[in-house]
Amino acid sequence: MARRLDTGGESEPAFPRCFAPPLPRRSAMATERLDMIRVREILRQKLVDGRSHRAIAASLSLSAGTVGGVCSRAKRLEVTWEQVSEMSDAEVDARLFGARAGAVEERPTPEWREVHAELRQKGVTLTLLHLEYLERHPDGLRFSAFCDRYAAWRDRQTPSMRQCHVAGDKMFVDYAGHKVQLVDKESGEVRGVELFVAVLGASNLTFAEATETQRVPDFIGSCRRAFEFFGGTTSAIVPDQLKSAVVKSDRYEPEIQRTFHEFAEHCGAVVMPARPRRPRDKAKVEVAVQIVERWVLARMRKEAFHSLGEANVRIAELLREVNERFVMRTYKATRRELFERIERGALRPLPTEPFEVGAWKKVRVHFDYHVEVEHHFYSVPHTLIGAKLWSRLTPAAVELYDGHARVAVHARSHVRGRHTTRDEHMPEAHRQHAAWTPARLVSWAESNVGARAGELCAAILENRRHPQQGYRACLGIIRLARRHERGRVEAACAKALAVRAYSSRFVDNVLRHGLDRVEAVEAVNGATSVSVAEHENVRGPGYYH
């Protein structure tokens, strides 16, 4: 059967072997089950090449009786090679051998779709599902076969199903590429608004709504309404790399937008952005967006909507059909049915308090211990001059944070260019200055100097364009009482009132030159006049006539 080569000690088979590696010779037992690779090769060599039984047996390491049995069956059944090449292995086996004698009855096969769905629930494992399977079928598959067959079924499904999503674990969010069209009633102008889509990972229950923009308030509002639609919150929110969710995109440590991070903490969730340019990280919502565009947006294309409210009512109607009428082929159930079965109980309860959206922005403390927020100035402790703070702006308040510590809270003001100042934020000297008021200064002058000083201070404040411009003049008059007798200061103030010289400098000059000692005021014919001391430099009224 073999000839020896002259150049070596190895023997070479008389006929070429088939592509399969040589296997040990098998006996031609009546109960032997040949693998289909050998059966096909036997038929090919016999029907196509016309080789003898012994040559075929030698090339396949089989007995001649085994080869003859296969060939005789094919001849009796008039099987041709063309037929064999078009049939599957199971069809060839059934055609040639039919029901094998002594074949073991096939054990009950689990419904793998149900197994896959059950695995999405927390705490459910293949071991538990196999035990439940054996309770129904005591003579069923053993654990190894159970796991192997499930793995084989799972690998034959679409790639997206290879991600095993636990119930209540993730909510995937994104915006559709196509927009909802709104028509202005008066002008007929058409404008596009955004279409927000959210989907739960385990049940595929889908939520969608139209919003004006993708900005932070609209984005967070949509996420909040999605949680309300689902009736609970998930452990994580998986957004795309949009700016309303991620400030700085990074594959490993993305910087989450602060308001969105605050919203997630309020809901007891974490933010897990999909990696940049990795759509498979959020394949769930990619498919959900496609479904919403085809079965919601496309059906609205010939309808006219004049407001977001009208559009969202129609979106809700069409979305109800998607969730409650469309049966998913993989699970043989609708999204709503699968949600009620495996995911509703796994969601966390909704927050008891509503979330107030606040816009976060970094600000710098100016030298006057104020920060500018929306063109208005708000005070912070004066020790923070030059520091960079976080401002959180809500419709009703402005909060200022140094890191995570809140250092100031103010009622929001919409007056541009004005200041809102808290006394406790001011230095001591500024605080005392802030305590000055016109009435208080007049009272100080009367109590520290006299009635004339009070009158003069009132006149000074009244004749200034702004009362604060006269504060220092009044203080100057009060402080003159520290250097001079109160009576002298009172007399000097009387002279100032007589000539309407509303100035602390005039009073000071009168005191320094001793003019307060001269008789100051005389009543002449009901009018007030001032007697002036005689002096060679004083000309008198006769000089001018």
Note the pLDDT tens digit of each residue in 445-473. 888 888 988 898 888 888 876 666 677 78
Range in 255-269, 379-393, 403-417, 518-532 with the lowest mean pLDDT: 518-532
Average pLDDT of the segment spanning 427-438:
67
Calpha distance 6→17 (Å, rounded) = 21
| Whether 186 and 292 share a structural domain | yes
pLDDT tens per residue, range 535-545 = 566 666 666 65
Query: Rounded to 5 degrees, what angle do the CA atoms 28, 32, 35 make?
Result: 110
Predicted confidence at residue 520, as pLDDT, reads: 44
Last residue of a domain, one of 408, 432, 456: 432
Q: Which of 241, 230, 299, 307 lies closest to 272, judged by CA? A: 241
| Whether 440 and 330 share a structural domain | no
Last residue of a domain, one of 71, 97, 123: 97
Predicted confidence at residue 393, as pLDDT, reads: 85
DSSP 26: B
Calpha distance 351→340 (Å, rounded) = 21
Q: 530 pLDDT exceeds 60?
A: no
Residue 5 inside a domain? The answer is no
Range in 43-52, 149-158, 253-262, 408-417 with the lowest mean pLDDT: 149-158
Which of the four pLDDT bands, split at 50, 70 and 90, describes residue 436?
A: low
| Whether 531 and 451 share a structural domain | yes
Predicted confidence at residue 337, as pLDDT, reads: 92
Range in 139-143, 431-435, 461-465, 488-492 with the lowest mean pLDDT: 431-435
| Whether 301 and 200 share a structural domain | yes
Average pLDDT of the segment spanning 358-377:
86
The answer to whether 93 and 36 are in contact (CB under 8 A) is: yes
Residue 369 inside a domain? The answer is yes
| Whether 240 and 385 share a structural domain | no
Residue 424 inside a domain? The answer is yes
Predicted confidence at residue 440, as pLDDT, reads: 80
pTM listed for this prediction: 0.52
Range in 105-109, 402-406, 498-502, 504-508 with the lowest mean pLDDT: 105-109
Residue 369 token pair: 């211990």
| Whether 279 and 325 share a structural domain | yes
| Whether 146 and 93 share a structural domain | no
Question: Which range marks the domain in which residue 219 is found?
Answer: 170-346
Cα-based torsion angle of the residue sequence 329, 330, 334, 335 in order, rounded to the nearest 10 degrees: -130
Calpha distance 445→200 (Å, rounded) = 75
Residue 9 inside a domain? The answer is no
Backbone angles phi, psi at 228, to 5 degrees: -65, -35
3-state helix, strand, coil in the chain (%, to 5): 45, 15, 40
Last residue of a domain, one of 319, 346, 373: 346
| Whether 341 and 245 share a structural domain | yes
Residue 3 inside a domain? The answer is no
Query: Please, is 72 exposed, middle or buried when counting C-beta atoms within 10 Å of its C-beta (0-12, 13-18, 19+)?
Result: exposed
Q: Which distant-in-sequence residues (6+ apart) come within 8 Å of 459 by Cβ? A: 497, 500, 502
Residue 107 inside a domain? The answer is no
The answer to whether 385 and 365 are in contact (CB under 8 A) is: yes
Q: 60 pLDDT exceeds 90?
A: no
| Whether 373 and 318 share a structural domain | no
Range in 37-41, 133-137, 260-264, 306-310 with the lowest mean pLDDT: 37-41
Listed ranges 170-179, 353-362, 517-526; the one with the highest mean pLDDT: 170-179
300: domain CATH number is 3.30.420.10
Alpha helices in 232-389 (DSSP H): 258-266, 283-292, 308-324, 335-338
| Whether 198 and 79 share a structural domain | no
pLDDT tens per residue, range 270-315 = 998 888 777 777 788 889 999 999 899 988 988 999 999 999 999 9
Domain count, the chain: 5
Q: Which of 461, 459, 516 lies closest to 486, judged by CA? A: 516
Average pLDDT of the segment spanning 205-218:
93
| Whether 302 and 175 share a structural domain | yes
| Whether 132 and 216 share a structural domain | no
Q: 101 pLDDT exceeds 70?
A: no
Residue 268 inside a domain? The answer is yes
Among residues of the chain, what percentage have pLDDT more than 70?
Answer: 84
User: Going by DSSP bridges, is the β-strand pair 419-420/376-379 parallel, antiparallel, or unpaired?
Assistant: parallel
Q: Which distant-in-sequence residues (6+ apart) come within 8 Å of 217 by Cβ? A: 357, 359
Q: What is the largest CA-CA distance in the chain?
A: 163
Order of strands, edge to edge, in the sheet holding 388-393? 359-364, 388-393, 397-402, 405-411
Residue 410 inside a domain? The answer is yes
Question: What are 367's strand-pairing partners?
Answer: none
